[in-house]
Amino acid sequence: AKPVNIAELRAMRDRGEKIASLTCYDASFAMVQDRAGVDFMLIGDSLGMVIHGGNTTTPVSVDDIVYHSRCVAPHLKRAFLVADLPFLSYATLDRALDSSQRLMQQGGAKMVKLEGGREQASIVEYLAVRGVPVCAHLGLQPQFVHKMGAFKVQGRDDAAAEAMIHDAHVLAEAGADMLLLECIPSELGRRITEASPVPVIGIGAGPHVDGQILVMHDILHISPMVTLGRTPRFVKNFMHGAADIESAFRAYVQDVKSGAYPAPVHCF
Ligand code: KIV
Ligand code: NA
């Protein structure tokens, strides 16, 4: 199969084909996900939780993301690779450029992802004009855990919803090539997606976005959240009824493409 690139992700959006994505952290899972038809993989800073076993993503370093990117990147025949810029690794223009350079040149990522709204526009533009494709992550932003105290659904009231719609617009104008929306009402996901010039990927953002992403360990029902009994509403156990892990990945891809996932029970 032809490797997925940014143009193909845009084409999928244009022809109404849903984009199916999972996080990934090592070679074995990368090969299986790639075979199963996952369109892009994310080296998520969620590795701080599902790999390191921590409570938050904030201790994750650029070294960690580079390490896991190097485990995954060489094994992708088809899937596109996105890597997270971890906490404070894009706090200044210089740091953002240096961190992105490492994720792309050493890690093999084809796009970097950062958290934040319009306040990140100058960083996004600085990277974009230098050839770094950027995905901007809006809505619930796990790197803000220490400022927020606790996490909840974002963009629930009208003012917050309008602000997020504006953020999405500003970030796309600044050169973001993709948007990711986490934990927002489905209706807000629909409005942002309809207005967006670039593909919009959701996690707990409803069925109207251009694609879905989930943490791999969550859909395999082995994440620490499962053990702690704190799986988020949008998570579905794709091992249920699957003969093996590859079948679970295939079921996920198929359910995203068909629109069977997310069902109303997974949405806000
Ligand atoms: O780190 C991560 O896994 C993520 C996804 C949940 C979108 O950012
Ligand atoms: Na992340």
Domains of the chain: 6-266 (3.20.20.60)
pLDDT value for 58: 97
Q: Which letter does DSSP use for residue 80 in this model?
A: E
Residues 6+ apart with CB under 8 A from 204: 140, 153, 182, 183, 184, 232, 233, 234, 262, 266, 267, 268
pLDDT value for 45: 98
pLDDT value for 185: 98
pLDDT value for 1: 82
| Pocket-testing residue among 49, 84, 181, 218, ligand 1, by greatest number of atoms within 8 A of Cβ | 84
Region 32-42 average pLDDT? 99
Confirm or deny that 34 is annotated as ligand binding.
no
pLDDT value for 218: 98
Could you report the per-residue pLDDT of 57-72, keeping only the tens digit for each? 999 999 999 999 999 9
Pairwise CA distance, residues 38 & 29, whole Å? 11
Here the ipTM equals: 0.99
Does 150 score more than 90 pLDDT?
no
For all residues of the chain together, what is the average pLDDT?
98
Cβ(132)–Cβ(98) below 8 Å: no
Amino acid at 212: Q
Could you report the per-residue pLDDT of 101-110, keeping only the tens digit for each? 999 999 999 9
Ion ligand 2, residues whose Cβ is below 5 A away: 44-45, 84
| Pocket-testing residue among 21, 22, 23, ligand 1, by greatest number of atoms within 8 A of Cβ | 23
Pairwise CA distance, residues 248 & 216, whole Å? 10
Q: What is the pTM of this model?
A: 0.98
